Every structure is written in structure tokens, then in C-alpha cells.
Amino acid sequence: MTLVHALSFDVEEHFQVANFAAVIPRDRWDREPSRVEANVERILARLDAAKTKATFFTLGWVAERHISLVKSIVARGHELASHGYDHRFVDALGEGGFREDVRKTKRILEDASGAPIVGFRASTFTITRRTPWALGILAEEGYRYDASIFPVRHPTYGIPDAPRHPRVEALEGGRSIVEFPPLTWRFLGKNVAAGGGGYFRLFPYAYTRHAFACAERDGIPGSLYLHPWEFDPDQPHISAGAIANFRHRVNLARTEPRLARLIGEFRFSTFREAIAVHFGSDLGGLAVDRR
């Protein structure tokens, strides 16, 4: 079977990104103009046209306020997964707070959608060496895979020497969980980030295409992550400093055409399908939706 890469979207509002945390605290979120529903609908239309499925890692905070959007994602054959409740970093939550957060979000998403939630991605990829307990908690709370460990060096996230390929992580108590990292490629002996987000917008299209071509050459599925606000060049301007605003707004108008080109060149689907195809099994009852 042809290699299947994982396509995903982290469903959050434009004002909920870590770059803006200092200027738009959580107690202001409900007073900000919501744009997530229109942006996700734009993505869904693009995926429908391309006959491509994806995983939507969704904040519990968003799901509570946009239940119809959650239902639409699932009704159109996509996978719903957890992005935590309100975008807090894993190390800031601590063990007890993290367990409460992933349990609460799983319940919200399952109640809203009627679909089982088996996947998780941490805010800003903050499962790192500072949080060695995180994967065990996810497995105990019923998650079957994680997509949070970025095998790069970065001030906020990353485990530079972590494997670059999807694998089954053995955990204490006989449990296990699949870890599916964002896409990277090797350059001068280092892992270079290419998995999406700002990297997808900042660097030329050829950069991302090369990374996926390298993954295919090696027989390893890659994963791409984007955000609904990255499809919205008309979103309100937020004054958060020159660097933060550049990182947030650079090449927003190029996101959609670049994605259309990429999914035309490579085969993408949900994390659930990419995992099942790669490992050659349903991983103990992990159903795959090929609608």
C-alpha cells in the first residue's frame, strides 16, 4: 500500500497562540472576536474538494463554544483528537493538572461529537524531557497515540535526539502508546524542523516538499500540522511585538495554495489511518475510517 502521511490542524482561535499569551490573557478570550468556525469550514471545503481526510486536534475550550463545528468535523469523515483544554504548556500544568486537563478535554470532545478520542497533541509540543510522566498519563487516560514530541532543538520544546519516525513507546505497567512526531529532515547531521506551522509559511514550498520526499525515500510517514488561523490573512492585527507578529503573520496568504499543492503531490489522511497503514495492524482495535 502507498505510504500515507498524517495531515492535522490544531483547532484554536487566532488569539490563543503562545505568542500572544502576554497581551491576551485567558480571562479576555471570551471578549475577543471568534474566527475559528469560519476558518475551519474553509479548511473542510478544501479537504472535501481534494477528497482528503485529516485529524483535527481541538481545544476543549473551543469545542464547548462551537459544538456544531465539532460535529461537522466528524460528520465529514475526519478524525477528532485532543489539543488539551485551553492551550497550557504541559510542564506548567504539572502531573496532576495535566491528568485533569486531558481527562476533561477527552470527555468534552467525546460528549460533543459522539466519537472516541484516542489522539493527543500538547500545546506547543511541550512534552519534553521536563515531563517524563506525560506519556504514561495519556495511556492511563485512554489515549492510544501522541503527536507532541518534536525531535529538534528549540527554546520552548523539542527532544533533539528523539526518534524521527513513528514508534510504539513501551511504558510502565505494561502499557504502550504510539508516538508520531512532526516531520523533520536531516541537514549537516542535525534534525531540521519541517512539520508545518510557521516553517510551512516561512520557508519556500520546495523546503517542505523535499522533507516529505525524503520521508518517502526512507519509507517513513511524515506528519504536517497547521492551524485554522493560518488560512486567515484578514484576521485582526494584535500588537505583541515585532518578532511575535512576524512569526504569526508571515505569508498567511500562501498557506492555502501551498497546502492544495502538497496534498496534490503526496497522499495524506488522518493520524489513525497513517498509523494503521504504517504498522500494518489496527493496534488493538484502533478503527480506521476510510470514508
- Residue with the three cell numbers 492585527: 237
CB 82 within 8 A of CB 58: yes
pLDDT tens string 201-227: 999 999 999 999 999 999 999 999 999
The confidence score (pLDDT) of residue 94 equals 98
Residues 6+ away with beta carbon under 8 Å from 58: 11, 70, 73, 80, 81, 82, 83, 109
Cα 80 from Cα 57, distance rounded (Å): 6
The confidence score (pLDDT) of residue 290 equals 38
The confidence score (pLDDT) of residue 188 equals 83
CB 271 within 8 A of CB 6: yes
pLDDT averaged per 10 residues, the chain (length 291): 90 95 94 97 97 98 98 98 98 98 98 97 96 97 97 88 94 94 90 92 96 94 98 93 89 96 97 93 50 35
CB 29 within 8 A of CB 13: yes
All 3 cell numbers of residue 209? 516538499
User: What angle is formed at CA 278 by the lines to CA 117 and CA 191, rounded to 5 degrees?
Assistant: 95
Interstrand relation of 176-179 and 167-170 (parallel, antiparallel or unpaired): antiparallel
The confidence score (pLDDT) of residue 285 equals 46
The confidence score (pLDDT) of residue 189 equals 83
What domains are there in the chain, each with its CATH number? Answer: 5-279 (3.20.20.370)
Cα 161 from Cα 182, distance rounded (Å): 14
